[in-house]
Amino acid sequence: MIASDAATPTVKRMKLRYAGTCSQCGAPLDAGVTADYDRASKTVSCVECPARRAMPDQAEASAARRHAITPDLPPQLEVVDGTAGGSAAREFDRRHDARQQRVQTNHPKIGKFLLAVFDDPQYTKAWSRGAVGARQLSG
């Protein structure tokens, strides 16, 4: 999900890839026509919409009503101060320990030898490399 901030405008003028209907006046809009796309309500409207030119306040009021009908967003989660790459490091440890346990259980006599000769698989080592990279990027 893309986080919206104050710098991102909600209305974008674009060429339509698909046919649509103007949310203000109800006029059909063909694919390839330039129109205004409202990201918040996911609707399109004519660039020169007669309804918007005639009553701009009413268009804003209808948009406000539309947003009032939609359910509230879930509450923002608190920022947890943790260690960069901590979850990746824990995932590596979990996978590494599970592999050791599995090899020693399946091969009780030569399990330690197999672990000494054969390294962890790449998909397990990737978690360790990711944790190191996250720590380096964090400062």
Under the banding of pLDDT at 50, 70 and 90, the label for residue 116 is very high
Q: What's the one-letter identity of residue 102?
A: R
Read off the pLDDT of residues 93-111 as tens digits, 9 standing for 90 and up.
Answer: 999 999 999 999 999 999 9
Q: What is the predicted pLDDT for the residue at 69?
A: 55
Q: pTM for the full model? A: 0.42
Q: What is the predicted pLDDT for the residue at 7?
A: 64
Listed by start position, the domains of the chain span 11-69, 86-138
CA torsion 11-53-35-45 (nearest 10°) is: 70
In which residue are the tokens 């209907």 written? 21
| Helix (H), strand (E) at residue 29 | strand 28-29
Q: What is the predicted pLDDT for the residue at 4?
A: 52
Mean pLDDT, the chain, integer: 80
